[in-house]
Amino acid sequence: MDFKNNKTVLLFCLVMLLTACNNIPSTYTESTEKLNIYPDYSDVFIPSNIAPLNFHINNDASSYLTRIYSTNGKSILVKGKDVQIRVNDWKTLLYNNKGHDLFFEVYLKQGKSWTKYPLLTNHITSDSIDNYTVYRNIQPLYTTYEDMSINQRNLENFDVDVLIDNRLYSADNDPHCINCHSFQNYNSTGNMQLHIRGKNGGTVLAFHNKLKKINLKVLGLKSGAVYPAWHPTLNYIVYSTNSIGQNFHSKNPDKVEVMDSRSDLILYDIEKNEVTKITDSNDWLETFPYWSPDGNYLYYVAAHFKPKQDSIETEIQTETIFNYENIKYNLIRKHFDQKTMTFGEADTIFSASTIGKSATFPRVSPDGRYLLFTMANYGNFHIWHKSSDLYLMDLATRELKNIDVVNSPEAESYHSWSSNGRWIIFSSRREDGTYTRLYISYFDNNGKAHKPFVLPQKDPLFYKRDFKSYNIPEFIVKPVKTNSHKLYRVACSEAEVATLTK
């Protein structure tokens, strides 16, 4: 027997066997039944640089074969119930097929025969998405808090960097809350801030490549600084100052109400370390500031609420609780003169209260044309309101545009525009009503929003097993340069106390 020939034959058989396993079945029946996959990655518009849309096939079969293809280039074949696509293959496919449809062709072997399911079709847009998003990873907590982190996710793959984890900062019996990460102009300047709450807390600021800690609990203010908004070009941050309370529903499915009993707006001058009041009224609750992309307008929300007893804090809080359904916020903006550094009068952009609603989180698109906001039946902390949805206003006409396609029966809340204005990332509890996930929706240049898709994960079943929520998603164009230990060291340092100017 010729051993060399036998080796060749064996090798040939092996190759045939392998390729046979990876070949599309030549005979199959066509099913009209829609394939049941999780997450739902069908009929969505995706960026050309998004990470692979790995998914799980819920239908039962003995074998699974998925072919992913588009107009150009090689198709990708994946075996198994979990369709996990190699990042490089995926990137190549998307790069070569911008503007084309993307197809998932799935075959299931049940018994001895294969069944081909209807094609799942998505569309690869020519518009890319910002490379990163930063969010807080936290359990949907009520009063206690334990482990949470602010993470930076590379949207082109599955890499996650932990910017800061509160367990670095917290001894076991002294947990700290980290929140309100915020960037100037999509982190293009490298300037960012976040708060650390708890013993020796403060605000950590990354400014001109230096880290510092500041104390914004300034004497003369009703409370410390809370929700931030960086001016896109100037070295200012507007904050709201909020006296926040939290109460629980004994029966209402919304479960939690987070309410302000007092809130105002302040302007923080980073270079001078000075705070100036923008609003200071006991009759109005002003919060959630946000600058227009050109820096000429400050948007925020305001609700009229005049407590009967405006000097006793506990009484005000009690009144807030009794009136929680009546506190409704409108969308306001003030013109900002960048030369004189002064604000104009308040201009009501949208009176949500007149239609029995309450608006929050105003976000102007990068081209200045649209205003995206969240609206629910009352209040401002809408992640706890199932009635909360996203709304879009055309700022030129002040008309609301229908973006029902992005909404669901569960809460939709915090949202951000990508730097090119083509993508919206937002938090939603549509999956199960409790755990917040991040969804991405395409916003085309005709002003139309498209069906959103959940932030892809390497493990398709990741969200099923994950007991943490994702909140405050912010797009950034370049990664954060610091690391958790540097941030931690600054967080442990003494804070510079800001001063209040008149």
Q: Smallest distance, Å, CB 292 to other proteins?
A: 36
Q: Smallest distance, Å, CB 434 to other proteins?
A: 5
| Cβ proximity to other proteins, 150 vs 275, nearer residue | 150
| Cβ proximity to other proteins, 193 vs 320, nearer residue | 320
Q: Smallest distance, Å, CB 57 to other proteins?
A: 17
Q: Smallest distance, Å, CB 257 to other proteins?
A: 6
Q: Smallest distance, Å, CB 196 to other proteins?
A: 13
| Cβ proximity to other proteins, 19 vs 173, nearer residue | 173
Per CB under 8 A, residues contacting other proteins are 139-147, 149, 162, 165, 167-173, 246-253, 255, 257, 321, 324, 431-435, 459, 464-465, 467, 484-485
| Cβ proximity to other proteins, 89 vs 466, nearer residue | 466
- Tell me if 353 sits within 8 A of 328, measured CB to CB: yes
Q: Give the count of beta carbons closer than 10 Å to the beta carbon of residue 428.
A: 25
Q: Smallest distance, Å, CB 54 to other proteins?
A: 14
Q: Give the count of beta carbons closer than 10 Å to the beta carbon of residue 89.
A: 17
| Cβ proximity to other proteins, 283 vs 432, nearer residue | 432
| Cβ proximity to other proteins, 140 vs 479, nearer residue | 140
Token representation of residue 356: 């029995």
CA distance 278 to 405: 37
Q: Smallest distance, Å, CB 230 to other proteins?
A: 26
CA distance 470 to 153: 11
Reported residue count of the chain is 502
CA-derived radius of gyration, the chain: 26
Nearest Cα residue to 210 out of 493, 500, 481: 481
Token representation of residue 187: 């982190």
Residue 120, exposed/middle/buried by CB under 10 A (0-12, 13-18, 19+)?
A: buried
| Cβ proximity to other proteins, 109 vs 430, nearer residue | 430
Nearest Cα residue to 206 out of 476, 477, 482: 482
Partner residues linked to 138 by β-bridges: 469
